[in-house]
Amino acid sequence: MNQTILQRTQSCLANPDRISAEDVLRMRREVFSDGVVGPPEAEALIDLNARVTDQSAEWGAFFLEALSDYIVHQAKPEGHVSDENAAWLIDHISKDGKIESRNELELLVKVLEIARTSPGSLASYAQRQVADAVLTGEGPLAKGGLLEKGVINHEEAELMRRILHAMSGPGGLGISQDEAELLFSLNDRTAHDRNDPAWNDLFVKAIANYVLGYSRHALATREEAKRQEAFLDSETPGVGGMLGKMFGGGLAGISEALRNPGGLFEDGETAAKARNEAFEAGTRDAERVEAAEARWLVDRIGNDGSMHDNERALLKFIGETASDIHDDLKPLLAKVA
């Protein structure tokens, strides 16, 4: 830790036990006037955030702005989060493997959202933080009494949705098996009649994405997708248009977004049209439930002893959408027909 930077940052506080809006203005003017945040400055901000818990809203905004800019845009490679930088971030915002500050949790999610690419390990770490909060009722989200152990509230569902949208995990634009396993595990271990409706919506759409094979037929890599300017400029800020449309509009949004990918790229460009046609052909193939996915779903549905409403909704959606369904899944589908 660079003590000079830390001391300069702390000297901006009128009260050592509180970070006010005025303190943030002084930091911007006296410490970060050049707009450059390096490792010493980043460490000083993280240290200050941990030490002083009485914080203004302006501090939270400044913390996220400065740290996310450093990690994504100033640390090399620019625009990407390397394995090394991901490990640095986790090490500096964690204590015994867990995040304790809401600002630090929001920073983790924001980094995933704005980076062009991130290691799957960083997305997995973020997902585990949310899952732990759900199952234990503890952690940064618990401050203020917002959490109830074993119940998924709206904020937790929204955080998980944002992480999946960030497309930083090994599943690329879709949902990976590890992510699907985590979602099912959470679903099995929570109180279904008290979970927020946003969770049920997310669960059905994400698991359908995995089972129907969209993650395996999406654009080859996230980096490839990010090179498409129209894709970046889609109507869902910070989210790839295809996945954003899936999660944005009712259950039919998944099928509609994948059957009609033309809106992802600008009309009139030959290369874009060719890609759209190839993409559409791939997603038609993806609408099959093959043997491995069918067996996986049979093993997971009702794994806790009962079939829940969102599992029924998932089966109904698959039954209505899939062009071909492996025989192993058909007995389950018959139960919800």
Asked whether residue 189 is assigned to any structural domain, the reply reads yes
Asked whether residue 302 is assigned to any structural domain, the reply reads yes
pTM of the model: 0.77
Whether residue 126 has pLDDT greater than 80: yes
Q: What angle do CA 220, 226, 232 make, to 5 degrees?
A: 130
Could you check whether the bond before residue 77 is cis, i.e. omega within 30 degrees of 0? yes
Domain count along the chain: 1
Dist CA 173 CA 164 (whole Å): 9
Asked whether residue 286 is assigned to any structural domain, the reply reads yes
Q: Which of 220, 264, 217, 228 is nearest to 244 (CA)?
A: 264
Report, as an integer, the average pLDDT of 3-11: 83
Asked whether residue 234 is assigned to any structural domain, the reply reads yes
Highest mean predicted confidence (pLDDT) among 14-18, 282-286, 287-291: 14-18
What is the tens place of the pLDDT at every residue in 159-187?
999 999 886 444 444 688 899 999 999 99
Asked whether residue 100 is assigned to any structural domain, the reply reads yes
Dist CA 271 CA 275 (whole Å): 6
Asked whether residue 26 is assigned to any structural domain, the reply reads no
Asked whether residue 239 is assigned to any structural domain, the reply reads yes
Residues of the domain holding 305: 76-336
Asked whether residue 28 is assigned to any structural domain, the reply reads no
